[in-house]
Amino acid sequence: MRFFKAAMLIAVTALSLGGCAALLDNQVERRAEAAERRFPPTGQLLEVNGLTVHADIRGQGPDLVLLHGASGSSRDFTFDLVGRLQDRYRVITFDRPGLGWTDPLPEGNDDPRRQADLLRQAADQLGVRNPVVLGHSYGGAVAMAWALGDPDGTAALVLLAGATYPWEGELGGLSPFLATPFGRAVAAPMISAFAPKSTVDRAIAEIFAPNPVPDGYASYVGAELTLRQGSLLANAQQVANLKPYLEKMAPLYPGLNQPIEIVHGDADTTVGLDIHSRRMVREVPSARLTVLKDVGHMPHHAAPDQVVAAIDRADAFDHGHSRCHHVSAGGRRTQRHRNSLDLPKSGREGYPIEGSSHGACVTCSSEIAECHRAETAK
């Protein structure tokens, strides 16, 4: 909300600077160039259908694709989460279209299905096969679109506070405003040119609330990349226009058979727990929900161990690690292991223990992790 008020103030200021278009354009360009120098690509730049796609690839093992949320980039994951996973997965972290170092789609950039198609083609170039696909926030919609577009080639899904269902009413905040003609023409360039660091820091703190922003996150994540005018407008368009796409996608979710592990904080005020995640476990038999107590919109930073455990469970269920003693050759948990978890049969929120999950046996997750490490080392 503070960022929205600041944007309005900047826009009003813009009206008083009517004759300064050339100076404004110059400032927008200078800040964009400075952001790109400070936050270069962390991975490789692929060419897909004439578009540049940025992919950060680390580790070895089963393929795991990470899709970031709105206003973000792959740096949100490479800050910490990737380092917790790369010892047993090949982790492929993409910048979504129009954000980070990935080009916007020339048409349909606001369509999560088109985004998923582009990133899946990039994954094909990298030899990605049958990945677990994780999406955070808006990236949850893209992850669902990925699975809907290629159900046989998607091993499992992990949703972190995923925006996956349409909501009632209109969306408020900055993005719908920037998607208007006035916002695009006036407010966006002014924000790109003049938004102060203090405003950006407050916006980051609001996204993390009630949890603290990790030390070093703000200086690493590269919010300045999102403030580039093109990225700012791409992000606004995606967020403002998401709801109609979810209305088309949501009825198809029950047809997915992949394991879907959902992790969502009960203090999330950005993506509603009841609207999105609890609805999914009611409607999709293969979905299971871990509710994290007193965690906001960034569970992979506030409760990374629980997120890693969810990824390990999703992978173990589908990839059929018959080499792991608790998973049978068919990729299903053995009866001994199932009994030790006391798992719900399907599709239900379970039994939170210390903010944990419905069947998130920490011992199990540790065993799965050790199995991954042993197999990767061979």
For the chain, the domains span: 2-41+177-234
What's the confidence (pLDDT) of residue 318?
A: 57
Give the model confidence (pLDDT) of 209-235 as tens digits: 999 999 999 999 999 999 999 999 999
Give the mean pLDDT of 248-257: 97
pLDDT confidence bin for 81, thresholds 50/70/90: very high
Give the mean pLDDT of 246-252: 98
Task: Check: pTM over 0.75? Answer yes or no.
Answer: yes
What's the confidence (pLDDT) of residue 171?
A: 83
Residue 70, pLDDT above cutoff 60:
yes
What's the confidence (pLDDT) of residue 367?
A: 56
Residue 43, pLDDT above cutoff 80:
yes
Give the mean pLDDT of 330-356: 36
Give the model confidence (pLDDT) of 263-297 as tens digits: 999 999 999 999 999 999 999 999 999 999 999 99
Pairwise pLDDT comparison (370 vs 279), residue with the higher score: 279
- HSE-CB at 78 with a 13 A cutoff on CA atoms is 21
